[in-house]
Amino acid sequence: MNVISMRVCAIGAFVMQLLCLPAYGQPLDPYQAMESVPDSTTCPGAQCVMHFPAVPAGKRLVITSVSAQLGPASNELVLEGNGVSYFVPKADPNIGYLAVPVTIYFNAGSTPTARVFAPSTTQHTSLIVTLVGHLVSN
């Protein structure tokens, strides 16, 4: 390996650590969690909040995909945690679901939540949210 190749590899490894991406050869620790609310009309204040498992100590959660069944109850959901709110809209308000690639980070000890505003008291909708990603070492 020549000097230029070694420098490129070193810079690449540094950038991967900076972005919390796994280093070459480091196995990914996959993450997938689903939470649901059986009936959107039962949520207090028309806000349905789904709590996901807390991020383990020494890890950082990288969410790469969000999917949700929202039906006619709502056109978006809000992912919250680490003091940041991230709005995830449906691609089309006429469809009942969303599936979106994202990049959202949650630090160790934080609890990701998904909030769905469902103001209609006549739309008895089952809400389901799935987060997919991976855990990396801090």
**1 assigned to some structural domain:** no
Question: Could you read off the pLDDT of 79-94 as tens digits, one per residue?
Answer: 999 888 999 999 998 9
**72 assigned to some structural domain:** yes
**2 assigned to some structural domain:** no
Question: Could you read off the pLDDT of 92-114 as tens digits, one per residue?
Answer: 989 999 999 999 999 999 999 99
Identify the domain containing residue 121 by its residue range: 27-137
Count the neighbouring beta carbons within 10 Å of the beta carbon of residue 50. 21
**12 assigned to some structural domain:** no
CA angle 13, 62, 137 (to 5 degrees): 55
**The pLDDT value given to residue 26:** 62
**7 assigned to some structural domain:** no
**49 assigned to some structural domain:** yes
Q: Which residues pair with 36 in a beta bridge?
A: 128
CA separation for the pair 73, 14 (Å, rounded): 44
- Write a three-state SS string for 67-99: EEECHHHCCEEEEEECCEEEEEECCCCCCCEEE
